[in-house]
Amino acid sequence: ELHVATLSQDMAPLRARAQALRDDIRATGNVRLGCDALQLHAFVLTESSELAAAWQAAKDTEACAAALGDVELQAMAIVQTGMVASKAVERSDGGKAPGVHYARALQVLGDRPARYLRSIIEWELGKARLDDSHAELAHYERARELSRQIGDDIGVAVADIDIGLIKLALRQPQQALRLARQARATLLHHGAQARVMATYSISIGALTQMHSREV
């Protein structure tokens, strides 16, 4: 509860800015920018755990993108509904499981490369498969490869963290330690401090499993 409260407090100014941006763009009548602003607002609301509002914003973005014929934005909006569903501990509206939304997003993308968006989908599918570590690992590895293909270093590092956690759970500490260290180097290089702590957690766990003096 404290974590959620802190997150909401930290996100409050960003939510206000996202709403103001939507209002300003709506006044210009620019539908294209309006869709983009709506998608941004849906993301901010999801990160703030304002799930009902995030769900509606994502559905509105999907409709807006479909009207414009923007397939990738439409698919991203569908992914956003999956993210909302995955955050919802209980859904009173009979909402579908997250994986259903991600499968629909892939269907909308068809044969388009869309590697950045596909990497997000694979990563989210990995998060949704906590009941099966091997399936989870396969999704994260595909997400990492897609990120590597487009030079998304942060995406690779994020996938390395999740893969490292699985390797740690599978009692493969050497691999976990290597992944944690390479992810940490990448994150520090790019100034992405928020995820660095997770790499230290993996390192400590791996060194402990190895009974290393380094711990």
CA 103 remoteness from chain centre: 16
Neighbours of 111 (CB within 10 A): 5
Of the two residues 11 and 91, the one the predictor is more confident about is 11
Look at residue 89 and tell me whether its pLDDT is greater than 70: no
d(CA 184, CA 181): 5
Q: Is the pLDDT of residue 92 over 80?
A: no
Q: What is the mean pLDDT of residues 206-211?
A: 96
Per-residue pLDDT, 95: 57
Q: What is the value of pTM for the model shown?
A: 0.80
Average pLDDT, the chain: 88
Summarize pLDDT for 56-85 with one digit per residue, the tens.
Answer: 999 999 999 999 999 999 999 999 999 998
**In the prediction, which pLDDT does 9 show?**
53
d(CA 177, CA 207): 7
Torsion-angle region of 29 (φ positive above 0: left; ψ -120 to 50: alpha; else: beta):
left
pLDDT tens, position by position, 26-54: 888 889 999 999 999 999 998 888 899 99
How much is the pLDDT for 93?
A: 47
Q: Model confidence over 118-151: pLDDT tens digits?
A: 999 999 999 877 678 888 999 999 999 999 999 9
Q: What is the CA radius of gyration of the chain?
A: 19
Q: pLDDT at position 15, please? A: 83
Give kind and range of the element (H or E) at residue 173. Answer: helix 173-190
Rama region for 91: left / alpha / beta (φ>0; ψ in -120 to 50; rest): beta
